[in-house]
Structure 1
Amino acid sequence: MLNRPQSATAEDGVSLPEIHRSVGVPHAGGWLRRLLAFVGPGYLVAVGYMDPGNWATALAGGSAFGYTLLTVALASSLMAMLLQALCARIGIATGRDLAQLCRERFPRPVGYGLWGLAEIAICATDLAELIGTAIALELLFGIPLLLGVILTAADALLILWLQHRGVRWLEALVAGLILLIFGCFAAQLALAHPDWGAVMRGYLPSLSILTEQEQLYIAIGILGATVMPHNLYLHTAVVQSRAVGTGPAARQEAIRFATIDSTVALCLALLVNSAILITAAAVFHAGGRTEVAEIQEAHALLAPMVGTTAAATLFAVALLLCGVNATVTATMAGQVVMEGFLGLRMPPVLRRLVTRLVAIVPAVVVTAFYGPSGTAQLLILSQVVLCLQLPFAVVPLMLFASDARRLGELAAPRWQLVLGWLATTVILVMNAKLLWDAITG
């Protein structure tokens, strides 16, 4: 038997009403059958952890420092798994998304401030996506970079079609594209022939990351590209697409399955991000090209340095898939943020066009005046901006997750809260270090 989907309207005050409780959940049958009903939202979230912004920071880190920053990719992914698990718990336990909780429980000026910062983070995310997609179009089809940036506004049509088909179609498409991206990089690693012993050592912590400013800057960029603010808002909303039972036992099971879903999906994202950095380290750093930060330059060098054009083609195809995939979830996150903080509904296509137009302006200016080198620096800067915005999403998340009185039987276990606050402290310290270095020159 299924918990039947229930239709929602904008007046219900629920998050993403067009998909709210739209997927039936069996309350009988085997463990695997019940788990599969919850598989999907985690992959929508995982997309944001492998968007084109990750490519810029991973390429820069791998080419400059070899395998050293793999430990940052691993630590960032572990933080992400923990924070997304807490997002799933809050969304299922309260029936509210993070933006709604901020509006309801914080003073109005604080809520408006958090909304503004969340919008900045989404625009920074969108900036990375449109640049990455435009670069992929140039590499694969020869479309000029400036024209490609403008053409990316047309992806609003994709959003309209996907949302019309329903959330399960959306989840299936996103998961399929993630598997294709993973396949592209698995083949690319086979062509790159990395030093696997050095790869394993790269996952061990290194003090040089904290003592060398350039390494720290790229490390914060990797953190910003991995633990993304808009994903925290999105996950608290999309987990509510399941028609979960109202009893504590049913919701506890839903939290457990949603956590498994997001953790497995983020493991795939970690493998993809690691593969980008490993490829850059094995091909560019090992070959003496330690300043490769531009995606176009990496594409041009791959074929001659690896010895086959297949490596460059796989690289460009994976980049395009990442850009298209990330487009979908950024739009949904923007909808969650606007509706949750302001109670203002906007058609998804219109919301997408507004966000994309805001991001297109700096991208067009930089592309027109500075070319590929400017877009590379803009990509990395966008990821650092995301990291600086991250505390303003993580701290409210942890405050709500720590509110055992409101969560009751569904309160997070103490070990999750301790590790969550530790991760929050690490993020705050790294941000403070970045700002101090910028101020002191």
Structure 2
Amino acid sequence: MRDGWAWRAGDGAAEPSLGAMNASVPVRATGSWPRRLLAFLGPGYMVSVGYMDPGNWATDIAGGAQFGYTLLAVILLSNLMAVVLQALAARLGIATGRDLAQACRDAYSRPVGIALWLACEAAIIACDLAEVIGTAIALKLLFGLPLLAGAVLTGLDVLLILLLMRRGFRALEAFVIALLTIIFACFAIQIAMAAPPVRDVLGGFVPSTTIVTDPAALYLAIGILGATVMPHNLYLHSSIVQTRAYPRDEAGKASALRFAIADSTIALTLALFVNAAILIMAAKVFHGSGHTGVQEIEEAHALLSPLLGVGLASTLFALALLASGLNSTVTATLAGQIVMEGFLRLRLPDWARRLVTRGIAIVPVVIVTGLYGDEGTARLLVLSQVVLSMQLPFAVIPLVRFVSDKGKMGVFVIPAWLKILSWAIAAVIVALNLKLLVDTLTGG
């Protein structure tokens, strides 16, 4: 470990995170608070995508079907943890002008940096794998395409990414927010159709002893918590908050930090609604009708319309899944670029970066689907989440360590109470992820 940041000469000016996109979005220096906030809205919504991607759906469905509204408390706790950690990522980026990957490169020896890069690349590929599977399932549900064909078609989204990136960062954010709006609307309509009892829903947000005493409930709770913070989201957020053209002095950074935290907190509240809505819908429709064994996305889709008595329900479910998969594609691509440039200073053309990661993700889906059919793909989705769990400590621990160090953060170092809270959250998430990993590998 080097003393302080020990930035190499010229690094900060020569290598801004995300290159030309850094400080490319103008913001208001004066005006009302809501109008100034509007200019900062965007990065938080891009980060929130990772909290409602296809990899999270199966856990929420299984939790609601098996235990009703009980695990809503776990979703709420997970979201509160996410709010804190994403705020730390934003703080690191704004205070130091470095994203998490750049910070790791400059703070650790090269062998450690390479190891962290490899771990993060594995996580991004695993996340991309979940997106391929989720999008392929959505295409199958909506258009009847075989999973194999749907997985291959997902490779074409590289064209979409290229088009958006050429139009600037605001276009990228607008696309993400538009798809998030579709997801939100789909689940709002489904919740209205299901009409869950408000008292039971509110009661679900109160922690229950069942979560701890029932081994099956505890396992699902660990799964929900374990999939809460996507490792690449921390790298992503620490970079994209720097796309705003705020003054790079102390006052400008302090103002930007306030707006960035407000942005991510609002966006993660939307993610809380979506995740809670999936579980609430499963609780009302499946648990309420005795279908407590529903676990897979396709099974949930098949049962929704018959049990609700509304043909549109399953279509809305599949549409939200497709929007989720497409959205995750954008953020994973951007995270991949940030990680590669931050750790290695290696810049690849956007199309090359996307083709490499998406190609690596498509190959296992094609092989597993061809050999084992749809059931094998569902297992592959679970495996992708385990890989993400393995990488999480290597992102959370450096982040908390950096923002706790006054030598690195200066006046923006986190206060003692937040330091204690951050380390506690890191310890809980790491411990639960490790338990989830062990249980998954041992069949516990």
CA–CA distance in structure 2, aligned partners of residues 340 and 220 of structure 1: 31
- Name which of 277, 280, 297 aligns with 1:278: 280
Query: Partner of 1:110 in structure 2?
Result: 112
CA–CA distance in structure 1, aligned partners of residues 232 and 30 of structure 2: 34
CA–CA distance in structure 1, aligned partners of residues 76 and 352 of structure 2: 37
Query: Partner of 1:165 in structure 2?
Result: 167
CA–CA distance in structure 2, aligned partners of residues 306 and 440 of structure 1: 34
Query: Partner of 1:28 in structure 2?
Result: 30
CA–CA distance in structure 2, aligned partners of residues 18 and 375 of structure 1: 39
2:322 partner SS: helix
Q: Deviations over 1:358-396 (max 9, x none)?
A: 111221222223323222232233223322321110000
CA–CA distance in structure 1, aligned partners of residues 390 and 219 of structure 2: 12
Q: Deviations over 1:127-179 (max 9, x none)?
A: 11111111111111111111001110111001000100101111112112111
**440 and 162 in structure 1: CA distance in 2 versus 1, 3 angstrom threshold:** closer
CA–CA distance in structure 2, aligned partners of residues 203 and 242 of structure 1: 36
Runs of 4 or more above 6 Å deviation:
none
Shift of 1:436: 5.0
Name the count of aligned residue pairs.
433
Per mean C-alpha deviation after superposition, the further-off stretch among 54-63 and 143-152 is 54-63
CA–CA distance in structure 2, aligned partners of residues 210 and 381 of structure 1: 24
CA–CA distance in structure 2, aligned partners of residues 249 and 435 of structure 1: 44
Query: Partner of 1:176 in structure 2?
Result: 178
CA–CA distance in structure 2, aligned partners of residues 224 and 385 of structure 1: 11
Shift of 1:354: 0.7
Query: Partner of 2:321 in structure 1?
Result: 319
**357 and 10 in structure 1: CA distance in 2 versus 1, 3 angstrom threshold:** farther
TM-score, with structure 1 as normaliser: 0.94
Shift of 1:196: 2.3
**187 and 405 in structure 1: CA distance in 2 versus 1, 3 angstrom threshold:** same
Query: Partner of 2:5 in structure 1?
Result: none
- Name which of 397, 410, 413 aligns with 2:412: 410
CA–CA distance in structure 2, aligned partners of residues 119 and 10 of structure 1: 24
CA–CA distance in structure 1, aligned partners of residues 437 and 228 of structure 2: 20
Partners of 1:220 and 1:384 within 8 A in 2: no
**428 and 226 in structure 1: CA distance in 2 versus 1, 3 angstrom threshold:** closer
**11 and 405 in structure 1: CA distance in 2 versus 1, 3 angstrom threshold:** closer
1:356-367 aligned within 5 A: 356-367=358-369
TM-score, with structure 2 as normaliser: 0.94
Per mean C-alpha deviation after superposition, the further-off stretch among 95-104 and 208-217 is 208-217
Q: CA RMSD in A?
A: 1.8
1:249-288 aligned within 5 A: 249-288=251-290
Query: Partner of 2:7 in structure 1?
Result: none
Q: Deviations over 1:51-82 (max 9, x none)?
A: 11111211122112222221221111111110
Partners of 2:390 and 2:437 within 8 A in 1: no
1:67-86 aligned within 5 A: 67-86=69-88
- Percentage identity across paired residues of the two chains: 60
CA–CA distance in structure 2, aligned partners of residues 207 and 358 of structure 1: 42
Counterpart of 2:148 in structure 1: which amino acid? L
Query: Partner of 1:94 in structure 2?
Result: 96
Query: Partner of 2:356 in structure 1?
Result: 354
CA–CA distance in structure 2, aligned partners of residues 88 and 247 of structure 1: 16
Per mean C-alpha deviation after superposition, the further-off stretch among 305-314 and 284-293 is 284-293
CA–CA distance in structure 2, aligned partners of residues 221 and 383 of structure 1: 9
Gaps in structure 1 of 5+ consecutive residues:
1-8
Partners of 1:222 and 1:383 within 8 A in 2: no
CA–CA distance in structure 1, aligned partners of residues 213 and 443 of structure 2: 15
Shift of 1:335: 0.6
Counterpart of 2:163 in structure 1: which amino acid? W
Partners of 1:153 and 1:353 within 8 A in 2: yes
Per mean C-alpha deviation after superposition, the further-off stretch among 252-261 and 417-426 is 417-426
Query: Partner of 2:3 in structure 1?
Result: none
Counterpart of 2:344 in structure 1: which amino acid? L
- Name which of 240, 247, 250 aligns with 2:249: 247
Counterpart of 1:308 in structure 2: which amino acid? V
CA–CA distance in structure 1, aligned partners of residues 142 and 433 of structure 2: 37
Shift of 1:213: 4.1
Partners of 1:398 and 1:421 within 8 A in 2: yes
**255 and 156 in structure 1: CA distance in 2 versus 1, 3 angstrom threshold:** same
**439 and 311 in structure 1: CA distance in 2 versus 1, 3 angstrom threshold:** closer
Per mean C-alpha deviation after superposition, the further-off stretch among 295-304 and 200-209 is 200-209
CA–CA distance in structure 1, aligned partners of residues 171 and 154 of structure 2: 22
Per mean C-alpha deviation after superposition, the further-off stretch among 218-227 and 276-285 is 218-227
1:27 partner SS: coil
Q: Deviations over 1:208-262 (max 9, x none)?
A: 4345443333323322332110000000000010111122111101000000000
2:220 partner SS: helix
Per mean C-alpha deviation after superposition, the further-off stretch among 376-385 and 313-322 is 376-385
Kindly indicate whether residue 152 of structure 2 is the aligned counterpart of residue 150 of structure 1: yes
CA–CA distance in structure 1, aligned partners of residues 42 and 422 of structure 2: 24
Per mean C-alpha deviation after superposition, the further-off stretch among 10-19 and 310-319 is 10-19
**353 and 370 in structure 1: CA distance in 2 versus 1, 3 angstrom threshold:** same
Counterpart of 2:91 in structure 1: which amino acid? R
Shift of 1:317: 0.8
Query: Partner of 1:3 in structure 2?
Result: none
- Name which of 195, 205, 209 aligns with 1:193: 195
